[in-house]
């Protein structure tokens, strides 16, 4: 049974996302030792020089979504099931850095689909609680494990349907974030398919470094970051870094 990691990467005018992905890939190779497939476009592929030992799938990314007046190329993730060449797939954001091999255990599990439903704010403020922003809990599409199965296919197909009718579903679930967001799209898809009866989540909180924490250096076993005028560090722990200035570190 084949296993691997699937990444999406599209550069924008503001951010060279392939530079972030390079760090992500180096840690996947070091700590997970899995096959890697990158879904990208021609523009990003031509700028990306460290593509050896990675498989690539070139697409023309969907456009039209924006965040903070900048392009936000996040509309393609619903096709991950169709494009993944693996029987079991870890679908990761490129700003999720695997400093451990913890994710490997989920590829050995019997679950069809796993996603995070809670996060751990590494600055200790517990910032990311959105209980008042919708009538269902949001999930985090940063890390997803799925296998080629009827259930996983139905979830991704439902995300496609929701994306095509996103404003309707936002009204249905009273979601106040009107730009398309995968976190809400997968939350709604799970609710449509399983309600609350048969949803499965990663059993740990997703370790997250908020956007106002600035990474100052990458180390072999973790990162150093600045927060509240103090230098702090994370070691031997996977981490999702929200500040995209990491592309320039």
pLDDT tier at 177 (50, 70, 90 boundaries)?
A: confident
Report the domain count for the chain.
1
Question: What percentage of the chain exceeds 70 in pLDDT?
Answer: 98
pLDDT, average across residues 186-204: 89
- Residue 197 pLDDT exceeds 90: no
Q: Record the tokens describing residue 244, joined without a space.
A: 């995209």
Instruction: Check pLDDT > 70 for residue 169.
Output: yes
- Predicted confidence at residue 124, as pLDDT, reads 87
Does the pLDDT at position 77 exceed 80? yes
In this predicted structure, the answer to whether residue 130 has a pLDDT above a threshold of 70 is no
Helix-strand-coil percent breakdown of the chain, rounded to 5?
30, 25, 45
Q: Are 44 and 7 in contact (CB under 8 A)?
A: no
pLDDT for the residue numbered 101: 98
Contacts of 148 (CB under 8 A, 6+ apart): 81, 84, 86, 87, 88
Closest CA to 38 of 2, 7, 77: 7
Instruction: Give yes or no for residue 53 having a pLDDT over 90.
Output: no
pLDDT given for residue 198 in this prediction: 78
What is the value of pTM for the model shown? 0.96
Higher pLDDT, 131 or 146: 146
For residue 194, the domain's CATH number is 3.90.550.10
Residue 99: domain span: 3-248
């Amino acid at each position: 049974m084949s296993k691997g990691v699937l990444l999406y990467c599209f550069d924008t005018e503001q951010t060279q996302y392939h530079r972030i992905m390079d760090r992500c890939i180096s840690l996947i190779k070091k700590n997970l030792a899995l096959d890697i497939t990158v879904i990208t476009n021609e523009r990003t592929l031509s700028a990306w020089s460290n593509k050896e030992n990675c498989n690539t799938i070139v697409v023309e990314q969907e456009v039209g979504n924006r965040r903070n007046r900048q392009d936000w190329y996040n509309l393609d993730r619903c096709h991950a099931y169709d494009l993944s060449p693996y029987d079991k797939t870890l679908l990761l954001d490129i700003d999720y850095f695997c400093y451990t091999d913890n994710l490997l255990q989920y590829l050995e599990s019997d679950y069809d689909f796993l996603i995070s439903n809670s996060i751990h704010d590494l600055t200790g403020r517990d910032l990311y609680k959105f209980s008042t922003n919708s009538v269902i809990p949001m999930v985090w599409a940063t890390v997803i494990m799925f296998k080629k199965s009827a259930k996983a296919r139905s979830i991704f197909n439902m995300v496609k349907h929701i994306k095509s009718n996103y404003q309707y579903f936002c009204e249905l679930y009273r979601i106040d974030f009107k730009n398309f967001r995968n976190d809400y799209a997968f939350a709604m898809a799970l609710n449509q398919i399983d309600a609350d009866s048969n949803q499965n989540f990663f059993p740990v909180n997703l370790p997250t470094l908020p956007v106002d924490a600035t990474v100052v250096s990458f180390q072999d076993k973790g990162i150093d970051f600045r927060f509240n005028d103090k230098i702090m560090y994370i070691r031997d722990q996977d981490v999702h870094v929200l500040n995209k200035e990491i592309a320039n570190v």
